[in-house]
């Protein structure tokens, strides 16, 4: 196996469906943003106990992001050969995670400045990357068919990442800093 092919040197790549597109194609942009998000979540995962609730949640999310990337990297309606990608069940699973992680937290009263414990700061960064991925997939959806739960999944994931960041700060004894205009 070679890790280079030289086929992309001219600014083109192939989708999973075999179609050749420019590397600036919205599908490739979307896949790149999903990959960046997945890698950032992988770094957070690497800093946690592999048996923890955090690691388990991140593992499921990272697997879902691979499915989402596979969906987006194809011009076919069902590129996963008999597998379902992100579905309403995937979105509901994230909603359940949000509720579970949110319940022990105090109510949020204003805008939270994204910082705190290093893992919480990384979760805030992941939330921003997720929102960017959501915007990119939204642009893609205006030009190409995108499966209906792709945007919903990214929207819920960014909400969970916010709650996750707050939970990490609380777990590590770091108080949130609310933004106040001077």
For residue 115, give Cα distances in angstroms to 53, 64, 78, 122, 162: 22, 27, 40, 8, 11
Percent helix / strand / coil, the chain, rounded to 5:
60, 5, 40
Domain CATH code at residue 49:
1.20.1200.10
- Does residue 96 fall inside a structural domain? yes
Alpha helices in 14-52 (DSSP H): 26-46
- Count of domains observed in the chain: 1
- Does residue 113 fall inside a structural domain? yes
- Does residue 97 fall inside a structural domain? yes
- Does residue 141 fall inside a structural domain? yes
pLDDT at 107 over 60: yes
pLDDT in tens, 20-54: 899 999 999 999 999 999 999 999 999 999 999 99
What residue numbers bound the domain in which 89 lies? Answer: 33-74+83-171
- Does residue 93 fall inside a structural domain? yes
Other C-beta atoms lying within 10 Å of the C-beta of residue 127: 22
Name the band, by pLDDT with cuts 50, 70 and 90, for residue 181: confident
Output the pTM of the full model: 0.91
Residues in the chain: 182
């Amino acid at each position: 196996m070679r890790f280079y092919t030289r086929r992309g040197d001219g600014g083109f790549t192939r989708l999973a469906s075999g179609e050749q597109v420019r590397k600036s194609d919205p599908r490739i942009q979307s896949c790149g943003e999903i990959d960046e998000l997945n890698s950032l979540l992988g770094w957070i995962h690497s800093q946690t106990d592999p048996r923890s609730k955090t690691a388990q949640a991140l593992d499921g999310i990272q697997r879902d992001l691979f499915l989402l990337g596979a969906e987006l990297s194809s011009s076919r309606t069902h590129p996963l050969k008999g597998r379902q990608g992100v579905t309403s069940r995937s979105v509901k699973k994230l909603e359940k995670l949000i509720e579970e992680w949110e319940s022990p937290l105090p109510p949020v009263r204003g805008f939270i400045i994204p910082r705190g414990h290093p893992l919480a700061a990384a979760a805030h960064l992941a939330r921003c990357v997720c929102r960017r991925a959501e915007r990119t997939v939204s642009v893609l959806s205006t030009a190409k068919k995108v499966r209906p739960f792709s945007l919903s999944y990214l929207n819920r994931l960014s909400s969970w990442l916010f709650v996750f960041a707050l939970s990490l700060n609380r777990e590590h004894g770091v108080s949130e800093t609310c933004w106040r205009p001077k």
